[in-house]
Structures are given as C-alpha cells and as structure tokens.
Amino acid sequence: MGIILNNISFGFTENLINGLSCRFDDGWTAVVGANGAGKTSLLRLITGELKPGSGSIECTDTPAFCSQQTSVIPENAEALFTDCEPESYRLQHRFGLSPEWIERWETLSFGEKKRLQIASALYTGSEILILDEPSNHLDQPSRDLLITALKNFRGTGIIVSHDRMFLNELAYQTLFLEPPAHDLRRQGYDAASEARNTEQNYMRTQQKQIGSEVRRLEKRAAEYRQLAGTADRRRSKRNIAAADHDAKSKIDAARLTGKDAVHGRTLNRLQGRIEHQKGLLEQHNPSREKSFNYSLRFKPGRNRTLFTVPEGMLELGEKQLSFGSFQMQPEDKVALSGVNGSGKSSLLNHIYGRCRKDGVFYLRQEISSMEAEAFFSRAGSLDSAERGRIYAIMAALGSPPERVLQAENPSPGEMRKLLIAEAITNEIEFLILDEPTNHLDLPSIEALELALAEYGAGLLLVSHDRLFLENTTETRWQITPIEENRFELKL
C-alpha cells in the first residue's frame, strides 16, 4: 500500500492543499510546484509533523524523512558505523561513507553530509523514505552516486527536487501542486510535464474558440432582446383607448398566431446555448500557472573580446588551479564544469576581474547581504516604468513582487529572482552566472532556461544541472584533477 491520502486539506490561512486523494506505491513519486505551493508542507503532513485540517493519511510504516537542512548529524549515524550487520556495510559502501565523518562533520562538504543523512535514513529500515531537495549543491559525481543508491530502494519514496534529471531517473509518477488544485500523473517528470503542456495548450485553444462563440451568441441575444422588447410593446393594450376595439382585436390575433412572440422564443434558445457554451468554457479552463514571456535584453554584438585571461594559476587554500591563456567572444555560450572544490567560483571571480564592467551581469552562487542592500538601494531610485517591469518579471517567475520588494529579508530564491529580473530589464552584453538555479523552483528554472536559450550575447555558466547546461550553452570548459590537490582548466 505505501501511503494513502484520503481527501486531505491543509493551509495556515487558506488551503494550500484542497481535497487531495491519491496513493503512493512502491517506487519514487516526484512532487513538484512553485515556491509556496505546499510541497514541504505535504511532506510534513505525511511524516506526521503537521496535521491535516480535514481528511486522513495512512502509512504502512513510520516514514524516514530527510529535510533540506544538514546542520545536525543524523540521529543514528553513529550506529550505522558501529553496526556489524551486512546491511550497514552495504550502505557505507553504496554511499561512499567513512566512519571518521562523524568526527569531522563540520568540515564535510554538503554532498558528503547529504549522503550520510540519506544512508542513515535507509539504515532505519523504514519502507517509506521522504526526501526534500536531496540534490541541492551536489556536483555531478555526487548526484550520480546518490541516484544509483536510491534506485536500489525497494520501498515507497517521495522526492521534492528542482533537478529534472534527478526526477526523471527516479520517479515513476509525478504530483503537480498548484494551490488549491493538484494533478497526479503516472509518468516521470518530463513525460508528465509534456502531457500537461499539450493539454494546457489544447484547452487554451478551445477556450479562445468557445469564448468567441459566447461573444457571438451574446451579440445575437442582445439583438433579439431588443426585438422581443419591441414585440412586447406592440402586444400591450396599455396605451390603447378603451373604445378602440379594432386595435385590440389585432393584438389578440397576433397573440393567437404567436407571430410576434418568435423573437422571445429565439432569445430563450440563445440564452440556453450561451449557458451551455459557458459550461464548456469552465471545463476547458487551463492551469493558472503563469507563462514566462520576457527576453533577456542584450546589446548588439560588438567586434571586441569580452575578456582575455593570461596563463596563470589560482591558489585555492591547499589546492591549485592552473590554466593557459583563454578568452571569450561576444556571442560565446560557455558551460564551466568541475567537481565541488575544484575552483569554479574562484575562476569566475578571476574572470570577472578581467572584464569591463559596463553591460556585465555577475550572479554569484551565494548572494551577500551587501549585494542585497545594494540592489534595494538601486530599486529605491527606479522610476515607475522600470519598477513595473521588475514587478512583471517577478510575477512571471512565480513570486508576488510587492511582498518580495517590501520584505526585510527576502529568501535566497526570491533575492535571486530580483537580481535576475533587474538584469532582464537592462541591456546586457555578458552574463556570468554561478549556479543560477540554486534555491529556484522548477517553473522558475524552466522560465530562466527559456530566456537564456534565446539570449544572443555572451554567457558563462556554472551549474550542476546537466539539462540546464545542455539547453543553454554550446561550449564546455572542464576543470579536471591532474594530481592530488591540483586542477587544470581544459578548453
């Protein structure tokens, strides 16, 4: 059985989840939706941390839950390493764990912490495993290792993730949350998303056609309403003199034949057809999900190199990154790849230092408080037209613009969207983006991907999202290890 949701509803002020009934059997289910759609709330409902406002939840076992946070060592991590049973050794081997990780938890990478967190959850032996954004900040080798390990799980799994390749590798069904509605499809993410888009496009086409028919019928109804009113006035004896028997006889004859009432009957039939069409219109009501139709504005291509970096080496603590001379041209679209700790962000900083700053937008992996303050300082001096454009782009990216701009401390995802929205409103010659999809929900990632795919100027992109890279860049630069603690950039 796994998990059964029986008509559950939940919301803090208004329902995020409304009348959701579905079941999760053995295998992985992807739960997707925009920020604030209730994904994490649904996971907390299933684990019992939250209680539904109505309905019930049935689980065959106590769920093991892995949250996004990895600040605390998992409760049973130590037992995992001291247990001499074969399953404990299998988990350690499968996830590439080492007992000394317990002692140096604070110095572990996010990927190492996440692997130990999930292995500890599996060690509980629960038939139900629930993961909230397990692939955040993971490099490709760590992602591949985690996917392989999770494919071996034979129970009921639920996963919330913005990583499409991760979802496609694991999920056999996909639950879309669009408060207060929901849509469960027995397909992986890409197939389910494509089917939904096809249906949405069909419904939008039908909606336009039915809307045109409703307007045509209403126009005819207005004409017949006027004719019926004229006929009613002709049939009325109210203003006829009492002695004018001839006029009264003609009205009585018209009533008997029903000739003057034909407009009224036609009007009634038209009104019936209008109501029928409006019913069809309701049935062909597409998702309220917003489409992103903004393009990144860029300066016309110039016959000048964006930057040139001479041969050199960067010190990365105990590590080193070496490179030969390299440069980028105005329309190059480059993906910079490498494992965590290989110096990708350091190299981007070095490149940015070699760039002319006019027309360059640099989005760092983590946005500092200083950068956030600088944005709000700039935002305060925007005119109404510029502010309106940022509002529109934020709304298209799925965040309420007024609330975000008035917030004292926007979330990392919202701050990222604000900076991206500002970049879109300006003419950009060169984009440098370091993990731009971090903290973004799937609809926002797909919207940004669409904008970057149509962008006609220079793009230098770091991302662990392989599909995002494939759809937005044309050239790959790879940072590879050449010996212990030494890396080299290969073009």
352 and 271 in one domain? no
208 and 118 in one domain? no
297, part of any domain: no
Q: Which of 49-63, 220-234, 398-412 has the lowest mean pLDDT?
A: 220-234
- What pLDDT shows up at residue 290? 47
Last residue of a domain, one of 143, 166, 187: 187
462 and 433 in one domain? yes
Residues 42-66: what's their mean pLDDT?
94
Range of the domain at 432: 307-490
- What pLDDT shows up at residue 293? 59
Model confidence at 256: pLDDT above 50: no
Model confidence at 334: pLDDT above 90: yes
Print burial letters for 2-18: b (CB count within 10 Å at least 16), e (below 16).
bbebeebebeeeebbbb
167 and 64 in one domain? yes
Cα of first residue to Cα of last residue in the chain, in angstroms, is 51
Q: What is the pTM of this model?
A: 0.70
108 and 75 in one domain? yes
* Cβ partners under 8 Å of residue 448, min gap 6: 292, 397, 420, 436, 437, 440
| Percent of the chain residues topping a pLDDT of 70 | 83
408, part of any domain: yes
81, part of any domain: yes
CA 417 to chain centre: 12
- What pLDDT shows up at residue 222? 78
CA proximity to 324, closest of 308, 314, 310, 344? 310
Q: How confident is the model at residue 145 (pLDDT cuts 50, 70, 90)?
A: confident
Last residue of a domain, one of 233, 267, 283: 283
294, part of any domain: no
Tell me the per-residue pLDDT of 448-478, one tens digit each, with 9 for 90 and over: 888 888 888 899 999 988 889 999 999 999 9
55, part of any domain: yes
Tell me the per-residue pLDDT of 425-436, one tens digit each, with 9 for 90 and over: 887 889 999 988
219 and 175 in one domain? no
Listed ranges 263-272, 381-390, 462-471; the one with the highest mean pLDDT: 462-471
155 and 21 in one domain? yes
Q: How confident is the model at residue 255 (pLDDT cuts 50, 70, 90)?
A: very low
456 and 345 in one domain? yes
| Phi (first) and psi of residue 350, to 5 degrees | -65, -45
- What pLDDT shows up at residue 54? 93
474 and 413 in one domain? yes
**Domains: count for the chain:** 3
Q: How far apart are CA 472 and CA 474, in angstroms?
A: 7
Q: How far is CA 375 from CA 218, 354, 390, in A?
A: 50, 23, 12
**Alpha-carbon torsion (78, 79, 83, 87), positive or negative:** negative
318 and 426 in one domain? yes
481 and 354 in one domain? yes
CATH code of 32's domain: 3.40.50.300
Tell me the per-residue pLDDT of 411-423, one tens digit each, with 9 for 90 and over: 777 888 888 888 8
300, part of any domain: no
Last residue of a domain, one of 156, 187, 218: 187
Model confidence at 266: pLDDT above 90: no
Tell me the per-residue pLDDT of 178-208, one tens digit each, with 9 for 90 and over: 887 889 999 999 999 888 888 777 777 777 7
Query: How much is the mean pLDDT over the chain?
Result: 83
418, part of any domain: yes
220, part of any domain: yes
483 and 402 in one domain? yes
